[in-house]
Amino acid sequence: MKFGNGCWLQKEGYECFPPQQIYFTKIEPKKVTLCAPTSRISHRGDTLGGINLTLEITSPMPEVLRVKTYHHLGIRKTGPDFELETQENVELEIEDSDEKICIKSGSLSLTITKENFSMEYARDGEVISKCNGRDLAFMKTDWKGYAYDKGSKDAYMRQQLSLSVGELVYGMGERFTPFVKNGQTVDIWNEDGGTSTYQSYKNIPFYLTNKGYGVFVNNPGDVSFEVATEQVSKVQFSVSGECLDYFFINGPTMKEVLAHYTGITGKPSLPAQWTFGLWLSTSFTTNYDEETVMSFINGMEERGIPLQVFHFDCFWMKDFHWCDFTWDNRVFPDPEGMLQRIKAKGLKICVWINPYIAQESPLFLEGMEKGYFIKRTNGDVWQWDMWQPGMAIVDFTNPQACQWFKDKLAVLVDVGVDCFKTDFGERIPTEDVVYYDGADPVKMHNYYTYLYNKVVYELLEEKKGKEEAVLFARSASVGGQKFPVHWGGDCWSTYEAMAESLRGGLSLTMSGFGFWSHDIGGFENTSTADVYKRWAAFGLLSTHSRLHGSTSYRVPWAYDDEAVDVVRYFTKLKMQLLPYIYSNAAYTAKTGVPTMRSMVLEFEKDPTCAYLDRQYMLGGNILTAPIFREDGIANYYLPAGTWTNYLTGETREGGVWVEEHHDYLSIPLWVRENSIIPVCNQMERNDDAYDKNLQLKVYELKEEASTCVAQNGSQVLSIEIKKDGEAITCKAETENAYEIRFVNCKLTSADNAELVVDGNDTIVKVSDPKAVVVCR
């Protein structure tokens, strides 16, 4: 929200009340409280009236400072509030003098001057952001002189923090606009707007910069960001009301910022190993029955395409009945038997749901009579006719409504459903709305999806165990990363939409989310076979991979025979890489660093990576660049170092842009130097164990490299490989035999292992897992 009119003026009718000085200081071990008048106090008479602001500074963990600024503290507090992981504040280091007060947490400090109020955030004494003048302020948008008797109506709090030369801003959720947010106005407001506009399904009031810090605004309502727009060298964030609460989060690396941010809001949960396989959907408005479903499943099997999950979209229920959680008996007369027949083929089953109950649903009267729906202020059930005629919305602030919803889903789990696609959650009204617990409807608009996905995730935890709980969710708010997986929403079936989707996914993973998917081939309309094949390569090198569409099926043979080859090839490639991908996912769950990550997150010091949004790192060691052109030309950047093409074994020195042609069975896929990539070449399904068939591929070993391998939630191997002259020493902790493949490296001997030369590579077969292997 813009308040100003250029550098010096405010918009007409707007008034700005910034702190002028610090008048009183209250210092406690874990909190500093400051009284900051917005007019200068020259004598006691100046204290009679006027607007004071109160600042409270605490630290929930080292390297994080929390700043709350209040105008009127007595405003009635209404929820919801984000569920934060931090409960206790840590002690602060405080230096107080007549001129300033300095508050430290770890290497992060905030210095506030007492005269001519200003704030400076510093890391080990180096200023990384600051504000002064009118940057922090209470704003009134209906100001007509001194009289102020409308409470919080048209009142706002805002903060402006400086950006230095070359400083770039990222994050704020899944955004399909340019990846770098400088020059954008971003309103944190969940909308069902597709992937081709400024709107977003997943809005997160958090940003981080390439200067190694982040800012999280702790408000579930409509937080408005002006990122180098109103003031081109500042980020402004503003909220309605009388209080602004934000966390300033130090890195110093962007990965460490994400680790600290997810330490506050929750780490991404680790999805089950089987979720990393290929998902196939019925698509949305297509006609299907058990015969159709089985033809898809059998068709994938006959064509040698490993399938892991089959998804039933909306019309598994009767039209107009969403949601009644009952199979449409016109096309599924024996749903329980059908599910068992599908599961006998080794597949998992996902079904579509949303948090809305249409009037035709037999559950509508039950929910209405028991008070399980959001209501209007006059006591009516809140209904409208968008999406589903007569649609009501489940009130997840009501514990009994939550249990009612869980009970309906539990029946489905009991007959064979493994997970749920939790669609929608964005179309949540804010006017003429009453919640069971009295929550603020404006704050609930974004927060609703958190409660919705939490209820479904908890049900799956209760029924299947935490290690098996997984969603396929479209909407999200802060903390939603705890309920993976999220997909990118409704995109068109074009190269432009494919690029939009990737921008959105990279922006989301810069916002605390560890895992991400998208509709392979696009959702709306039907793509060309060309786009479908390119998108399949991209989708099967994302953390999660689903074939899904709107009005047409997405099985590859619906496009052409080559599409079958492409989907088969990249599905098997991803399965081969599963030990690497899943081990990175375990690291994500531990640290909050995403598995699918932007180039700038991995290569902060390389200025060329700052704007890259058409390529990414899958884990920390593999670079991929989807192809967005009909002529098959790929344009991508390799950072400095020696890179090895995973598919061909070719090596190339980095620090260069590459332009090259790829056929449909190829994609730029490069491994950075000094990497160990665990793979398995003997997998048939993604839920298979691979710990007894691991091959560790070593690329361009410099001095030493290490990795850990996870399987089904547990570590099954850790290895450290050191190079000292001509000798390479390998020490592993594991229970099973394993292989090491030194790519493009010919060795002549191995102590305690068998050595086999394979072309340009050397394979070292280790039969004794306790042995220290020395190769030369």
DSSP states along 668-718? -EEEETTEEEEE-S--SSTTS--TTS-EEEEES--SEEEEEEEETTEEEEE
C-alpha to C-alpha distance for 158 and 595, rounded to whole angstroms: 34
Tell me how far CA of residue 79 lies from CA of 158, 406, 438, in angstroms: 20, 23, 8
Q: What pLDDT does residue 677 have?
A: 98
Q: Terminal CA-to-CA distance of the chain, rounded, Å?
A: 64
Closest by CA to 139, choosing from 296, 47, 11, is 11
**Binned average pLDDT, 10 residues per bin, the chain of 776 residues:** 91 92 96 96 89 97 98 90 93 97 98 96 97 95 58 84 98 98 97 95 98 98 96 97 97 98 98 98 96 97 98 97 96 97 97 97 97 98 94 98 98 98 96 97 98 98 97 98 97 98 98 98 97 98 98 97 98 98 98 98 98 98 98 98 98 98 98 98 93 97 96 97 95 97 96 96 97 96
Q: What pLDDT does residue 87 have?
A: 79
Q: What pLDDT does residue 142 have?
A: 76
Q: What pLDDT does residue 143 have?
A: 66
Q: What is the maximum alpha-carbon separation in the chain?
A: 90
The answer to whether residues 593 and 587 touch, using CB atoms and an 8 Å cutoff, is yes
Tokens of 508: 């989301």
C-alpha to C-alpha distance for 548 and 73, rounded to whole angstroms: 50
Tokens of 124: 């080990």
Q: What pLDDT does residue 462 have?
A: 98
pTM across the whole model: 0.96
Tokens of 187: 């309103």
Q: Which residues contact 295 (CB under 8 A, 6 or more apart)?
A: none
Tokens of 589: 């769950």
Closest by CA to 677, choosing from 723, 644, 650, is 644
Q: What pLDDT does residue 757 have?
A: 96
Give me the catalytic one of 423, 519, 602, 691.
Answer: 423
Q: What pLDDT does residue 77 have?
A: 86
DSSP secondary structure letter of residue 609: G
Tell me how far CA of residue 384 lies from CA of 362, 374, 388, 423, 584, in angstroms: 17, 12, 8, 18, 44
C-alpha to C-alpha distance for 161 and 676, rounded to whole angstroms: 41
> Residue 696 half-sphere exposure, CB side, CA atoms within 13 Å?
30
Angle between helix 578-591 and 254-265 (nearest 10):
70
Calculate Rg over the CA atoms of the chain: 28
Q: What pLDDT does residue 146 have?
A: 45
- Reduced 3-state DSSP string for 84-95: CCCCCCCCCEEE
Q: What pLDDT does residue 153 have?
A: 67
Tokens of 231: 């003031």
Q: What pLDDT does residue 76 have?
A: 86
C-alpha to C-alpha distance for 450 and 30, rounded to whole angstroms: 30
C-alpha to C-alpha distance for 572 and 563, rounded to whole angstroms: 14
Give me the catalytic one of 230, 490, 530, 604.
Answer: 490
C-alpha to C-alpha distance for 545 and 51, rounded to whole angstroms: 55
Q: What pLDDT does residue 152 have?
A: 56
Residue 490 among the catalytic residues:
yes
Closest by CA to 139, choosing from 283, 24, 237, is 237
Tokens of 147: 């009289």
Give me the catalytic one of 192, 256, 395, 426.
Answer: 426
C-alpha to C-alpha distance for 476 and 82, rounded to whole angstroms: 12
- Reduced 3-state DSSP string for 171-231: EEECCCCCCCCCCEEEECCECCCCCCCCCECEEEEEEEECCCEEEEECCCCCCEEEECCCC
Pairing of strands 651-653, 93-96: unpaired
Q: With b meaning 16 or more CB within 10 Å and e meaning fewer, what string describes 30-41?
A: ebbebebbbeee
| Strand, coil or helix: 133 | coil
Residue 120 among the catalytic residues:
no
Residue 407 among the catalytic residues:
no
Closest by CA to 378, choosing from 434, 445, 444, 435, is 434
